Chain A
């Protein structure tokens, strides 16, 4: 990596990210091939012991040769030739695992440090609209904080009559609410501005995920503290090593923001801000402050580093757009998508995800001829505001070259633009343009051999 690069964390990561993705792809292919147990990581002695025992027990059983190491989140078990002829694994107290045959994982973008970095959700493996908590994308600026909830406090202060602090137990006493919402990093797709760069939909679009979030509205907390006149902005601060801070407009905070302690039916994951994160529906992911410890109300924005030198969108005239909060309507075909191989001509379902930070997905159109003709996709219910929406279109592939695209329209009437339209308005100030908020139509090229490739076609 070129350490002298002026914008190290953004643009030289361009190529580094691709290297990373190539390695991940290579690993996946290697994983599919038979492997001996010596390939196991030395840091997992118990698993190695388990493997030795397993090998002895199965004594040449065919299945034991195909999987020698459980993927993350799974436990390696003996695979009988006929599961209907033997009792299965005994039930026990504990926390469940996924199948040892499922290996979709988050993939880290190779930034200069592993603490200020991000990981992509494997959208190519996604079904439905929910993201498993363990596959929810991450963006952290100083690693994942480890916080004892018994010692965590949330402060509400600034322009209020009664500044208050709350323990987690006290936060949980307030009336609660839940919403199923997508969160998308505004840097999602930043490698794709000037040329198709990453190979898979995980790399091009994997910084968006959907969870059910549960917590307490900011309105409740602010009403409790008694907000003084003139309040315009709220600073949210995390308790991580970056003490991440963003200013949120006060009216937005009162309208629909909440502090969340729950994710998908259990406590929020550490990588997502355990024990408490801010949820700002439809706004860029960076505003959803994780490990939330403080809300300070003021009469102006705090102009923190993350809302001035980062997360601002530099245009060709040298002016940068600031407080570009909303994640605009966007969609992507998740299958077939980059690096997949079609299984010969005939029926092929085209499916993907669409979402809008401004409201509800109204329509998704799909093209198989590079945007010349479009047909409406079926939207899977529930279709929720500010939420991933699953779309599907049946397709008869004729075995010839094709370019697949999807285009989202939301209930404000906004139509997802082509990259050409986006560049016509925002220009390209450098290889990664204005960095943030790339919501253009994605193109996947299908070769006559069935190979699917990330392309620019606009």
Chain B
């Protein structure tokens, strides 16, 4: 191997090692770039992202009765007359179905049985529903239809009115149903685990 080749190989090795250890991020800069523009309150008006404690929920309110109308007009065609699901997810029922280790029986994950926060309901409907016209409901309509769904789920009473404060105060049945990621897991030895040999297709 020639000196030049050796040097080239050494240089390449150093470069390769550096690239491996430090994925290329630009060096930090001490003074601001100053690009972009300042954000105004009116810029942010079109966005919705409430926190689970209710911060960020907009003004407005809606009743279960008002929500029944909104649901019938904007939701029932996908989620079913009785919130039983269709092309959209089932929204109610399923309490008690989450504890299950039977591969032949599916758990029933709904707003009623699974969702830990009522604020998520407002947030998701406001941003992403109805599926064919996302963002088309007013804040009052979203409070109302949230109240309707939660009443059908037997989580709020039939005469409930929801606003920022009362929505954030709703206690969802599965509020404590979530745990942090335990991975990486410690697996038992292969000979102490289930075995099968099954042809698919």
Contacts and interface: CB of A to CB of B under 8 A. Distances in A.
User: Do A and B come from the same complex?
Assistant: yes
Interface of A: 3-9, 11, 112-113, 115-116, 141-142, 155-157, 162-167, 170, 173-179, 193-199, 217, 219-220, 223-224, 235, 237, 241-245, 256, 294, 296, 298, 300-305, 308-309, 312, 314, 316-326, 328, 338, 358, 360, 370-371, 382, 384-385, 412, 414, 417-418, 420-433, 437, 445, 453-458
B180 A321 contact: yes
A163 B93 CA distance: 42
Contacts of A300: 51-53
B119 interface: yes
B106 A8 contact: no
Determine chain A's interface SS by DSSP, over half rule.
Answer: loop
A321 B181 contact: yes
B35 A166 contact: yes
Contact of B117 (A5, A6, A162, A308): A308
Contacts of A195: 198, 200
Given A6-B110, A243-B128, A193 B52 contact: no
B35 A308 contact: no
15 contacts: A163-B39, A165-B36, A165-B39, A166-B36, A197-B200, A300-B51, A300-B53, A304-B124, A314-B109, A320-B179, A420-B190, A425-B188, A429-B98, A431-B103, A458-B194
B196 A456 contact: yes
A166 B37 CA distance: 7
Contacts of B107: 6-7, 314, 429-430
Contact of A235 (B28, B49, B86, B100): B49
A243 B128 CA distance: 6
A217 B199 contact: no
A319 B179 contact: yes
Nearest to A371: B190
Nearest to A437: B183
Contact of B120 (A116, A309, A385, A418): A309
Interface stretch (B17-25, B64-72, B143-151, B154-162): B17-25
Contacts of A453: 199-201
A119 B198 CA distance: 26
Given A6-B94, A322-B179, A304 B188 contact: no
Nearest to B119: A303
Determine chain B's interface SS by DSSP, over half rule.
Answer: loop
B28 to A, nearest CB: 7
Nearest to A424: B193
Contact of A170 (B35, B51, B117, B190): B35
Interface of B: 16, 20, 23-29, 32-33, 35-39, 43-44, 47, 49-53, 84-90, 93-94, 98-111, 114-117, 119-120, 123-124, 127-128, 131, 134-135, 177-188, 190, 192-201
A424 B187 contact: yes
A433 B103 contact: yes
A312 B84 CA distance: 22
A308 B134 CA distance: 20
Contacts, number: 280
Given A164-B39, A304-B124, A430 B193 contact: no
Of B25, B198, B201, chain A has the most CB atoms within 10 Å of the CB of B201
B6 to A, nearest CB: 20
B128 A196 contact: no
Given A243-B135, A425-B186, 19 more contacts: A5-B106, A6-B106, A8-B86, A8-B88, A142-B131, A163-B38, A176-B26, A196-B199, A242-B134, A302-B49, A304-B120, A305-B124, A314-B109, A316-B99, A320-B177, A418-B190, A420-B190, A453-B199, A458-B193
Can you list the 7 inter-chain pairs with the closest CB atoms, starting with the nearest?
A: A196-B200, A175-B26, A316-B101, A163-B39, A420-B193, A318-B99, A243-B127
Contact of A455 (B106, B115, B200): B200
A371 B196 CA distance: 13
Contact of A237 (B49, B99, B179, B201): B49
Contact of B114 (A3, A5, A309): A309
A423 B85 contact: no
A271 to B, nearest CB: 19
Nearest to B188: A424
Given A308-B120, A420-B196, A224 B187 contact: no
Contact of A142 (B37, B134, B183): B134
B49 A427 contact: no
Contact of B103 (A6, A175, A194): A194
A197 B38 CA distance: 52
Given A170-B36, A300-B53, A319 B195 contact: no
Contacts of A196: 198-201
